[in-house]
Amino acid sequence: MATRAPAPSTSLPIDDEEVDTLTIGRRIRQLRTARGMTLDDLAQAVGRAPSQLSMIENGHREAKLTLLQTIARALECKLDALLDAEPLDPRTALEVSVERAMRGQTFQALGIAPFRVGRSVPDEVLAAMLALQGEIERLREERSATPEEARRANVALRRLMRTQDNHFPELEAEASRVLSAVDHPGGPLTQRAASDIAAHLGFSLHYVPDLPSSTRSIADVKNGRLYLSTGVAKGDPRTAVLQALSSRLLGHGEPTSYDEFLRQRVETNYLTGALLMPEGDVVTALREAKERRAISIEDLRDAYSVSYETAAHRFTNLATVHLGIPVHFLKVHESGTITKAYENDDVNFPTDRLGSIEGQMCCRRWTSRVVFDVDDRFNPYYQYTDTGNGTYWCTARVEQSSEGAHSVSVGVRFDDTKWFRGRDTANRGVSRHAVETCCRRAPVELEAAWRGAAWPNVRTPRTLLATLPTGAFPGVDTTEMYEFLEGHAPS
């Protein structure tokens, strides 16, 4: 026997953001009182019990469409007058907002039972309640991402990246769509092309000397302006422009959790790299280099006029999917702290009890640490490192940042070294960081002589110690940002 499809519901969804039960109920009450009708009068006109209509007016019951049509006829108005999303007056808006807040998680978490907002409650009291509720939510958001939660989010994201071989086809497709829209001919992205992308998205570029110090750029969405520092304009502004535009391209909103914040940041950086170094062109170049057994991160950097880190990131995006080469990426602060990591080649990086790599000390015998002691900063540094999990080859460079020097390294398993330039290096190391005494503990003699007689001031990057995110825009002084926008907005 065939199953009959259920009839479509004639009731309105209670959690519809545009037209909810609270707004509808208040509109019915406003229209009823404006016509001098009591609740009993309306109940008699529509053939329902007064208690039922009271529940509807207070937003506690969802009215079916047929009943709303009957109520509209009784109030001598059109149905649209009841379904309009906008409240009738400021007082009604306050009442609806307070009652909606009382049904939310903040009031429930505080154990405050919902109560009826009578007409005798002053507007100032309702406004104060909403302000307090908003401040409580803000404080809860600021404290929602503990360092442990941040590490868990990093672990989950890295597992996803490993599952996908650090390749996100949907972001590659978005980059291809945007480049096609501005008629990019292929190859490296020029500054003019970056400006064309901005114009395509409805933004004009403005370089200003007073950009807030806590920001890299600010997008004035209302007026279609993208503000960047004049200091960026003196160099290569492409990355700053594209990072700002990537969030708009991906439709990012204010993150509601650290997971979402971290994912947005990764997506923004990925899309920026995909625009600067288009997949089709880079893959063609890498395949040719593999045939010549001359893959080089430096060649990618120079061909596309990007930073070494950007070239290294882009290589990890494409190496496994298009070249069949598992790979690992590591960024290490000069203090020895790992700030970024990715691997799908079974390399054994140090982790905490949650499995997080970021924030751990990199083995002092690993390429990423050894490179800091190399005097030659012009040429790349290559090294083979023997581990308990096999031998790995890495290429590394040191780059400067606002928080000091960082090393960026890319590595592969020994069997895949044959495809890379620099495989003939004589530099070798032995890392046993899985063993406590390799680098996590000092030699017994040194520890005995100095333990208890030394007290260092840690140089760990401050970002690893912060409980991010704090607020909607982590690390950004929003007052400074809004004052900047207000001062620069077109008159």
Q: Which residues of 243-262 are buried (b: 16+ CB within 10 A; e: fewer)?
A: bbbbbebeebeebeebbebb
The predicted structure's pLDDT at residue 360? 82
| Rg (alpha carbons) of the chain, rounded to whole number | 30
* Residue 409: alpha-carbon gap to chain centroid: 24
Tokens of 362: 């990199």
**Residue in the block written with tokens 């309640």:** 129
Using an 8 Å Cβ cutoff, are 318 and 361 in contact? no
The predicted structure's pLDDT at residue 152? 80
- At residue 120, what is the residue type? S
Cα–Cα distance between 364 and 484 in angstroms, integer? 44
**Residue in the block written with tokens 């203090």:** 335
Cα–Cα distance between 18 and 320 in angstroms, integer? 46
CA 282 vs CA 149, 159, 188, 288: distances in Å = 36, 25, 9, 10
Q: Rounded to two decimals, what is the model's pTM?
A: 0.67
Residue ranges in the chain modelled with pLDDT below 50: 1-19, 143, 462, 464-471
- At residue 332, what is the residue type? V
Contacts 24+ apart (CB under 8 A), 347-351: 347/387, 347/389, 347/392, 347/411, 348/387, 348/388, 348/389, 348/433, 348/434, 350/433, 350/440
Ordered by where they begin, the domains of the chain are 21-113 (1.10.260.40)
The predicted structure's pLDDT at residue 7? 37
Cα–Cα distance between 126 and 332 in angstroms, integer? 52
Using an 8 Å Cβ cutoff, are 409 and 429 in contact? no
Cα–Cα distance between 448 and 70 in angstroms, integer? 88
The predicted structure's pLDDT at residue 316? 96
Cα–Cα distance between 279 and 315 in angstroms, integer? 10
Cα–Cα distance between 373 and 392 in angstroms, integer? 20
* Residue 187: alpha-carbon gap to chain centroid: 28
